[in-house]
Structure 1
Amino acid sequence: MRIFSFSPFGYEGSLVSVEVDLRRGIPAVDIVGLADGAVKESRERMRSAITNSGFEFPAERVLISLSPADLKKEGAGFDLAVAVAVLGAKENSRETNEDDSMWTAESPEDTGDSVLVMGELELNGNIRPVRAVHAAVCTACAGGIRKCIVPEANAEEAREVSGMRVFGAQTLSEAFCALNDSKAFTQKERSGSSNALAGIPEGSVNIEGVLFAPVSPELDFKEVRGQTKLIRALQIAAAGGHNILAYGPPGCGKTLCMQRFPSIIPLLTPDEAQSVTRIYSIAGLLPHNSPSVRTAPFRQPHQTATIEGMCGGGPKCTPGEISLAHNGGLFLDEAAEFRTSVLQMLRVPLETASITLSRAGRTSVFPADFQLLMSTNPCPCGNYGSTDKLCLCSARAVEQYWKKFSSPLLDRIELRVRADNNAGENTKGVSSEELRVQVARAVSAQRKRQGKRNSKLNASEIVKFCRCTDGAKKILNEAQEKLGFSPRAASLCMKVARTVADMSEKFCIDEECMQEAVDFRKAEGNALTDMGML
């Protein structure tokens, strides 16, 4: 029997083989294989747990090897694997009864019968849940391991991985007894295919084949009065996965609208949910009662967030906010108050949809395919461009305020909206259910046509899928000449126009769709245009 555990580092992590050798000598427990403090302390937890569970701790000298030897082992998740391996070695020594022999918990020749074991031990033998179980089981399954023993609290999380047989243990005794009992391992029954509808919130609705979570009353757009243009931009952003920037005076409703954005985002597909669930499992943020993440993430970090907090890192190379927002939205409220270095760090992940982290000689690549939503004031005092209030900021102050964003970052934002205090304040609010209809229509069309969101189309796919009428091409060409659109800006306009056309069930992009995309891009009559940043 080969016993494996898992060392979480970055997005990938590594499987760790656990070997135990019982030999003559002064009774002691030695752990080799670059174990950190938490892993070395497992010697005492493991000894007490074995004794308090009714087993006899080996009287020989115990050598525990964690391989590969040059990989640093971190965390308390090795406790159960080490304890089970020690008990297996003790049992093997009784069966062989050869005093001069060396016993190990695994036979190097036997590679077919392997098991993944994870869990933290209490002194009384109970097993505590650990993080990164989903990631560990996925890695083990990819490596050909089909059985795992995990804490009962993590069992459903492990069963979400197709093809893995799982035993959820509450105590060390249960885990050791199950080790040689193949009937104790079970896997989740799946109806139809591996794309089972796991983790879908109760009350979710299906609109044209696209699933949406139930609308929370406090996040319903019907509570918003006015800001019709901003709500329209958010609807387009949800339909095509586009980035958006809203700017306007304080109190006009920018944050109010942005925080309701999750109510019109579709649920994740099973394929999208796999990577999101793995990230949240690694970060230790996966709820025990929700083994799979199907709701699109929506992260709202504070303005004091550091580069490490946003992009990830630390001793264990844990995911940052942009990875936690993978396949969802990252909302930066009062974006101009974030550090300039933090804002500029977003530029590459917005293009590559991933981020590469290097820590202590090791490299890990986290997915970071997120939508960027930003809201900010037009100037430090907030009154620039207002018709009824006086702006007290100098031209230099306004320029410095907007230079925190930089043109390369703003050039990657497809939708720019100015929100005013009197922007349709008497108009009736539109509910999230009504907004979802066009979003679902567009998402369904994109999935059938190209299998991804319009915002992710590359140059060749834009030519193939974004067919325009002659009038639409003329509008875009004029915008490039008169407004100085960059090639990137022109391609982003094409993507937004394609989304608008999908929302209206139009095969080709017509003049109306292109004009709306250009209008959201140019955002004329504001501080950004005056400074030549848009």
Structure 2
Amino acid sequence: MLSRIFSCAVIGLDGVIVEVEVDTGPGLPKMVIVGLPDAAVQESRERVRSAVHNAGFDYPRRALTVNLAPASVRKEGPAYDLPIALGVLAATHQLDQSLLDESLVIGELSLDGSVRHVRGMLPMAATAREQNFKRVFVPSSDAAEAALIPDLEVIPVNSLTELVMHLRGEIHIETTHTIDPADVIEPILSDFSEIKGQEHAKRALEVAAAGGHNVLMIGPPGSGKTLLARALPSILPKMTIDEALDVTRIYSVADALPSDVPLLRARPFRAPHHTISHAGLVGGGHIPHPGEVSLAHRGVLFLDELPEFGQRVLEVMRQPIEDKMVTISRANGSLTFPANFELVGAMNPCPCGYYGDPQRACTCSDATVTKYQKRISGPLLDRIDIHIHVPRVEYEKLSSDRTGEPSCAIQKRVEAARECQRQRFKNPEGGFINGVACNADMRPAEVRLYCDLDETCRNLMKSASMQLQLSARAYHRVLKLARTIADLAGCEKITSTHLAEALQYRPRLLDNNA
């Protein structure tokens, strides 16, 4: 007899409905799985046999053929264990297949028949809703994640035995109630009030948060660069529900979603070690998976000790910074992952870390300092809008009981500036004009339209362009930065004060002893 159960695969960040067909026939007891399965899917044969037997059902002593359609889509992971097991039971008349009409089944099986967590539950549940399935049977550990999708009946399953008894009407499994994303509590992050001193750096990060700009912090060890970076998400605008679902989908596919957190409400903060490979940073693999730049989508990507990262690793960053997405091409196709993040880099001015420090002498030669700083290529530096020096904190400020301005107060100014930008770039028909949502995303056409300069500002920019040798990209980045500073001040026009502050954030790597 032939049985047919529906499941789901994840390709990139999207789900694809998979039809699991199980057919019994004469021959030696053996299960053959076809339909481009990977090693984990092939191993389902052993898991399913043991799970069916240990759950108290009869495993057929006949030849079994399992087809995962469409055959053109590669299947990976153990999420097909549960639908295959149900297909075996239906094909051997131990279960009525009509009980699974309009249902999607997802889950990995243990040898004792219990159902385990699988990755990518959120996009699979969303696909079930889009394809008009009424219910999904999912591992109980993933039910809260699936319940984020409205108008979908989510049935949490603990074991194969429990599910079959539920389908037969012997017991009833309560449906997981749909979770309102607005009810998920946002966790407490590092606060700017905890950081002593560094007012200049805090101001720079406020400007970065207000306009979505990238930042590079340069300073001696222990000056607070990492603490400043970790506090940056606390002043970024709160994520909307759509943004939270967007980020959660990526973490679900990457299997990086905490087991007790169905929805990520705080903006991501990713800090990969400098030994990371380029595939780990931007994504890759035989079947492409999202990398750190995608896991930092809508949040912050912090690269500490920036010059220690491999040259190739840093160079592959250039395209995601510009395009806000990563395209990974393979022989069987290409996948695109979002990568709209704020880059925050941190580095010492030299290998010993004390070049230009007023209290501790540097032990590096000028040639060593120059070589160290030039590990970061000019094109990459050109893509970073804000370059700030983070000096050591004086004792008086460290020992003071006075706390700084809290993140919530800074966040209000940032959100007000972002609202100005949303209104500026808003498309009357919905969304944003040309996909520009903040000042950092502006292209030359938008810069020409919204960053008009008066005569005083043009003279200032002309002088600065000659002294700082600004490239065309750097010129536009200064204007975008000045536009953000004006938005923070609530000004319609860019003034020379805004432009002067923007110019002071240009790089001066080689003159820290000045």
Matched residues in 2 for 1:187 and 1:480: separation?
61
Hey, what does 1:223 align to over in structure 2?
194
Residue 154 of structure 2 corresponds to 166
Q: Which amino acid aligns with 2:222?
A: G
- TM-aligned CA deviation for residue 359 of structure 1: 4.2
Cα offsets for 1:242-284 (capped at 9, x unmatched):
1001112223222232222222223321222222111100111
Secondary structure in structure 2 of the residue aligned to 1:260: helix
Q: Which is worse superposed, 422-431 or 507-516?
A: 422-431
Contact kept, 8 Å, 2:148 with 2:179, in 1: the verdict is no
Amino acid at match of 2:105: V
Deviation at 1:189, TM superposition (A): 4.8
What CA distance in whole angstroms lies between the structure 1 residues aligned with 2:396 and 2:340? 35
Alignment of structure 1 residues 92-107 onto 2, 5 Å: none
**RMSD, aligned CA:** 3.0
Write the distance in 2 (CA, Å) between the matches of 1:4 and 1:459.
Answer: 49
How far 1:113 moved relative to its partner? 5.0
Equivalent residue letter for 1:439: V
Counterpart of 1:79, as a letter, is: D
Could you tell me which amino acid in structure 2 is paired with residue 76 of structure 1? P
Q: CA contact under 8 A between 1:227 and 1:425: conserved in structure 2?
A: no
Stretch moving more, 393-402 or 50-59: 50-59
Q: Deviations along 1:139-191, whole A, 9 cap, x unmatched?
A: 3434444432111111111121234332111122343455698x979575577
Which runs of no fewer than 5 residues in structure 1 stay unpaired?
Answer: 96-104, 107-111, 202-212
Query: Which of 293, 305, 321 is the aligned partner of 1:334?
Result: 305
TM-score by length of 2: 0.87
Please, what TM-score do these two structures have when normalized by structure 1? 0.84
Instruction: Give the direction of change, closer, same or farther, for the CA distance of 1:146–1:24 in structure 2 (3 Å limit).
Output: same
Count of residues paired in the alignment: 496
- The answer for the alignment partner of 1:72 in structure 2 is 74
Identity %: 40
AA aligned to 2:137 is I
Aligned 8 A contact 1:18 1:64 in 2: yes
**CA drift at 1:65:** 0.8
Identify the match of residue 51 of structure 1 among 50, 53, 67: 53
1:438 aligned to which of 395, 409, 413:
413
The secondary structure found in structure 2 opposite 1:507 is coil
1:447 and 2:430 equivalent?
no
Taking the TM superposition and a 5 Å limit, the aligned residue runs for 1:233-252 are 233-252=204-223
* Cα distance in 2 between the residues matched to 1:413 and 1:441: 23
SS in 2 for 1:520: coil
Corresponding residue for residue 517 of structure 1: 502
Structure-2 residue corresponding to 1:482: 467
Give yes or no for contact 2:215–2:344 (8 Å, CA) kept in 1. Answer: yes
Do residues 6 (structure 1) and 8 (structure 2) align? yes
- Change beyond 3 A, Cα 1:179–1:527: farther
Q: Residue 127 of structure 1 is aligned with which of 95, 111, 115?
A: 115
Alignment of 1:313-392 (within 5 A): 313-359=284-330, 361-392=332-363
AA partner of residue 273 (structure 2): H
Asked whether the equivalents of residues 2 and 114 of structure 1 are also in contact (C-alpha less than 8 Å), the reply is no
CA separation of 1:470/1:142 partners in 2, compared to 1, >3 Å: closer, same or farther? farther
Counterpart of 1:148? 136
290-299 vs 169-178, greater mean Cα deviation: 169-178
Instruction: Give 1:256's aligned residue.
Output: 227
Letter aligned with residue 303 of structure 2 = L
Q: 1:366 and 1:179 mapped to 2: Cα distance?
A: 38
Give the alignment partner of residue 498 of structure 1, picking from 475, 483, 486. Answer: 483
Write the letter of the residue equivalent to 1:74. E
Q: Distance in 2 between matches of 1:220 and 1:158?
A: 32
Amino acid at match of 2:213: H
Q: Is the 2:204–2:388 contact (alpha carbons within 8 Å) kept by the matching residues of 1?
A: yes
Question: 1:122-141: CA deviations, max 9, x gaps?
Answer: 23322111111112223343
Corresponding residue of 1:206: none
| 2:24 pairs with 1:22 | yes
Query: CA distance change for structure 1 residues 264 and 353 in 2, over 3 Å: closer, same or farther?
Result: same
Letter in 2 for 1:494: L
User: Aligned equivalents of 1:520 and 1:130: distance in 2?
Assistant: 46
Q: Contact 2:284–2:291 at 8 Å: present in 1 too? A: yes
Q: 1:85 offset after TM fit, Å?
A: 1.6
- Cα deviations across residues 288-314 of structure 1 (Å, max 9, x unaligned)? 322111211101111211112211223
Contact 2:20 2:66 (8 Å CA) reproduced: yes
User: Cα–Cα, structure 1 residues 405 and 44, in superposed 2: closer, same or farther, change >3 Å?
Assistant: same
The separation in 1 between residues aligned to 2:443 and 2:104, in whole angstroms, is 40
SS in 1 for 2:138: strand
